[in-house]
Amino acid sequence: MPTLLSAERALEVAAVLGEGPVWDDRNSSLLFVDIVGETVHRYHPTTGAHNSFPTAAPVGAVALRDDDELMLALAGHFARCGADGSLIETFGDFRADATSVRFNDGKVDPWGRFVAGTMDWNERDALGSLYQLSPTGEVAVLADKVTVSNGLDWSADRRQLFYVDSPTRRIDTFDVDPDTGTLSRRRVHLETDPELGFPDGLTIDVEGCIWLACWGGSRVCRFTPDGHLDKVISLPVARVSSVAFGGARLDCLYITTAAGAAPEHPGAGSARGGDLFVADPGTQGWPTRRFG
């Protein structure tokens, strides 16, 4: 049986679709987005301070830059802005068709590139792709025929990418070219039990284990490198969307959630979703990577 852990509410924010947490070690704060609420939030755990800024478009992911500005994956393009959200401006020439897809989750890779994926607005057709944005603005397609691009993270040796397309109910893995970051040899790493909900955001700890947010399942699950479920964090809300390590020692696990219930999982949590939670995972994460 997996070890059962609990989480506590860190911030009452009532996001419509909280997602994409990322720890800013230089400012000891956690950034996360409300995708359809078109907002980037910043939370300072030591003081409880919270501020936010609007993005004027759905925002699928936020990433840190080397120069302390931010990168955004907006509905159909990339943008940069100041740390406070000032001067949001388009970055590069790339455009996705934002009438059919939108960005949904992304992270900086081990080489300083921003990797983010798109999803079908209707969550039905394989219209999305996983993209890689270079610091000079070039965009490469890493994977295509994606329905709901979601959680992603790289192994410590930089040779594997773990990736979720949520409707497949799988975590897949790719081989990664250490020079270009491009992907090959996609295969199934593990298939998740439907009782857990849909796989969503994920992160990898220093032990090589995957922490997976389970949308509709009121929990975060940790899987060992061989695919064994060994820890479960229970939450009082149904729609658990993503996870990230934070804190001075990177030993706190922050968990984003979304509003609404999950009728396909009648046993799921019923408390108000959309708030930020935190748990003691008993391990640590890796430092956040920056774009540039």
Distances (CA, A) of 150 to 1, 72, 207: 27, 16, 22
The answer to whether residue 207 is domain-embedded is: yes
Query: Which pLDDT score is estimated for 271?
Result: 67
For residue 95, the Cα-to-chain-centroid distance in whole angstroms is 21
Q: Is residue 292 part of a domain?
A: no
63 CB neighbour count, 10 Å cutoff? 26
Element (H, E) at 104: strand 101-108
What is d(CA 206, CA 55) in angstroms, rounded to the nearest whole number?
A: 33
Q: Residues with catalytic annotation?
A: 200
Give CA–CA dist 291/212, Å, rounded. Answer: 24
In this prediction, residue 99 carries a pLDDT of: 95
Element (H, E) at 231: strand 229-234
Main-chain phi, psi angles of 166, to 5 degrees: -50, -45
d(CA 196, CA 213): 9
- pLDDT given at position 260: 74
Q: Is residue 25 a part of any domain in this protein?
A: yes
Q: What is the pLDDT of residue 272?
A: 74
Q: Is residue 285 part of a domain?
A: no
Q: What is the tally of structural domains in the chain?
A: 1
Residue 261 pLDDT? 60
The token pair at 29 is: 């704060």
Q: Give a yes or no: residue 284 inside a domain.
A: no
Tell me the residue range of the domain where 172 lies: 3-279
pLDDT tens, per residue, the chain with 292 residues: 999 999 999 999 999 999 999 999 999 999 999 999 999 999 999 999 999 999 999 999 999 999 999 999 999 999 999 999 999 999 999 999 999 999 999 999 999 999 999 999 999 999 999 999 999 999 999 999 999 999 999 999 999 999 999 999 999 999 999 889 999 999 999 999 999 999 999 999 999 999 999 999 999 999 999 999 999 999 999 999 999 999 999 999 999 999 976 555 544 555 679 999 999 999 999 999 999 9
